[in-house]
Amino acid sequence: MTYAFVDCRWSLDDPGWGRREYVAGHIPGAAFLDAERDLSGPPGPGGRHPLPDAADFSRAAGQAGIGAGIFVVAYGSLGGAERLWWLLRHFGHEACAVIDLAAWRGPLSRGEEQAEQVTFEVRRRSGDTIGLEGLARRRDELVVLDARPAPRYRGEPNPIDRVPGRIPGALNAPWSDELPELPEGELVAYCGSGVTACVTLHRLHLRGRSGLLYPGSWSEWEQHEELPRERG
């Protein structure tokens, strides 16, 4: 099997940070995929980081050398690698793992690298997401996990959430902490915009459980004044 490393480092505060870090030093042969440009669609009514269009993702994945028979090894920051892991599975490519760059003991390369372009064939998976209307209707029967840090979960003022708060009944499972013990039931993960929630879903997968992603997350929910919100 052929391996392809993909660098998915990014920063919420500095859109160019991830590529600069990649150029400064990356695993040899790794391609770079930008969490905002390649792993998300344009911001809007669906939130800050809606899912990318299938054709756009196929093009980006193919340019990164991801195709049939390729095992992807993703690393990144702020949920970037887990977002790629989730998107690959969503679009039909199961062969992917996530590693921590800090654990890499080999050399690093500098500068840009161009992967051999291949064709990424989309085979969209169904039943791995839940939309705003479905979550609003079913939230009382679901185990809803909020992957944001505790202060944002509590609805404290912050520079990211336009309307501080959370989806009523959600449990806090911060993406940067160990996953807590969770009750039985169908799981849904959300965060600020659908990126770091993929960390929670990856950890659930490693535990042998699965969950749905609410792609729009709080950045979509907060736009709807008719929907309930909770603080504290």
Cα–Cα dist 57/88, whole Å: 9
The neighbouring-strand residues paired with 166 are 230
7: phi then psi, degrees, rounded to nearest 5: -90, 120
Annotated active-site residue 191? The verdict is yes
Residue pair 199/79 in contact by the 8 Å Cβ criterion: yes
Q: Which residue has the tokens 């965060």?
A: 191
Cα–Cα dist 165/148, whole Å: 11
Contacts of 105 (CB under 8 A, 6+ apart): none
The one catalytic residue in 8, 96, 191, 198 is 191
Residues in the chain: 232
Cα–Cα dist 199/195, whole Å: 8
Phi-psi region of 23 (alpha: psi -120 to 50; beta: other; left: phi over 0): alpha
Question: Catalytic residues, which ones?
Answer: 191
